[in-house]
Amino acid sequence: MLNNFETLLAPVKKLAEFNKAQFEKAVAAQQVAAKEYVALTEARIKAATAIKDVEGLNSFVKDQVELAKSSLEKVQADSKALIEDAKSYNEEVIKLVQEGNAVVTKEVKATVKKAAKKAA
């Protein structure tokens, strides 16, 4: 029987801690994005309510077009960063799983060796 459960559980604990850190990072990013979106919405509402004439309307529409362009660029950059984060996450999970497999394999071999010695 496998005796060193702490050794066996260490990779699982590492993976759980890593997943927790990733989740916290994602939640923090969502909170920042939500705050930015609220601030942007408030600013655009304020700008819309400040329209007093045709010139003001033209200026507002021009600003909206520029905002759409910059927002698209931000979405593209954020998407690229998200893809890179996902790739990095997957690589780290694979590494941790491989480490865990190595630990289990080592422990199983040691246990089998001990059992074989006892049987002999």
Distance (Å, whole) CA 31 – CA 106 = 43
CA atoms of 56 and 46, how far apart (whole Å): 12
Residue reference for tokens 């246990």: 111
Which residues, in sequence order, are CB contacts of 111 under 8 Å at separation 6+? 1, 2, 3
What is residue 50's DSSP assignment? Answer: T
DSSP secondary structure string for all residues of 23-48: HHHHHHHHHHHHHHHHHHHHHHHHHH
Model confidence pLDDT, tens digit, residues 20-62: 999 999 999 999 999 999 999 999 999 999 999 999 999 999 9
Taking the whole predicted model, whether its pTM rises above 0.85 is answered as: no
Residue 93 pLDDT > 90: yes
Mean pLDDT of all residues belonging to the chain? 91
